[in-house]
Amino acid sequence: MAAILEISGLSKVYDGGFTALKSVDLSIEKGEIFALLGPNGAGKTTLISIICGLVKPTNGTVLAGGHDIVRDYRAARSIIGLVPQELTTDSFETVWATVSLSRGLFGKSKNPAHIEKVLKALSLYDKRDAKLMTLSGGMKRRMLIAKALAHEPDILFLDEPTAGVDVQLRRDMWNVVRELRDQGVTIILTTHYIEEAEEMADQVGIINKGELMLVEEKAELMRKLGRKQLRLALLAPLAELPEALVGRGLELREDGSELIYTYDSQGERTGITRLLSVLSENDIRFKDLSTSQSSLEEIFVNLVRNQR
């Protein structure tokens, strides 16, 4: 599969000296849903704004569909749709006029059938003659998606698309996004909702303080999620791991108070029964036990915390 978006060594230092992106390298395949996760101020909007030509990069290059976003701006921009994070839609224009006009801005000929299809898919067709300023917040957000799709882009950026959208509509929106992906559109979305990334994404990228810290297939992440930990709080602390327990995937907490056993919860055998009998044979007793599963959220929180 060919990369539709190729980002190399991309940096951004804003006027005033703040570094918002630190040499980001990222390559995104055609037809996938890529979720960019990161805390407030991580640089998500900055990255998207550079690709869409709204912010000038300080260093590095971006190729969108093979077009350099600086040197070949118009060609690059014409294959990109952007749903911005901020709602700036206090206009007297109607939904229909706004969405149609957006198509025209990209030099595409009129296509009312396409506009109709997009508005229907986003449950906005009934509101086609409504003025933007009369729309609710969730409707405005969907209108922005319709507007971004008006010129039939190959790459769609959704910057926090479901902020302020109710649960039912969020589901509807995700269906629209999946359908677009199935039609070959590449989707890049930012989100604070980890479940959303878990549910939607083919690839997940984690960004913090301008650094892209991890890019991984969601399936691979899910495999990691399959790893569980069994924690045994010991009745009497151990100075070190007894000989009989070495090589069994066990760890002794630094203060000796807890044994941590990591196992594959999806494997045929977890080894827990064996472990417990070895413990009892060696007279290691415990006062409590718990299991935990690493989630995307934990991976995320740990990465972000370690960087502070």
Ligand X SMILES: Nc1ncnc2c1ncn2[C@@H]1O[C@H](COP(=O)(O)OP(=O)(O)OP(=O)(O)O)[C@@H](O)[C@H]1O
Binding site for ligand X (CB under 6 A): 14, 16, 18, 20, 38, 40-46, 85
Give the pair of three-digit tokens for residue 254: 């630094």
**CB nearer to ligand X: pick between 47 and 135:** 47
Minimum CB distance to ligand X, residue 68 (Å): 22
DSSP E strands: which ranges in the chain?
Answer: 3-13, 19-29, 33-37, 59-64, 67-68, 80-83, 155-159, 186-191, 203-208, 211-217, 227-234, 250-252, 258-264, 286-293
Strand (E) or helix (H) holding 118: helix 112-121
Output the CA torsion sign for 129, 131, 134, 137: positive
Angle subtended at Cα 121 by Cα 120 and Cα 124, rounded to the nearest 5 degrees = 50
Residue 79 · residue 64 · CB < 8 Å: yes
49 touching Mg ion, by CB under 5 A: no
Minimum CB distance to ligand X, residue 205 (Å): 12
Minimum CB distance to Mg ion, residue 189 (Å): 12
Minimum CB distance to ligand X, residue 187 (Å): 17
Partner whose binding site includes residue 162, from Mg ion, ligand X, none (CB under 5 to 8 Å by kind): none
Please pick, from the candidates 7, 45, 79, 145, the single residue that binds Mg ion as defined by CB under 5 A.
45
**CB nearer to ligand X: pick between 7 and 150:** 7
**CB nearer to ligand X: pick between 85 and 270:** 85
Partner whose binding site includes residue 18, from ligand X, Mg ion, none (CB under 5 to 8 Å by kind): ligand X
78 touching Mg ion, by CB under 5 A: no
Cβ neighbourhood burial of 20 (10 Å; 0-12, 13-18, 19+)? buried
Minimum CB distance to ligand X, residue 20 (Å): 4
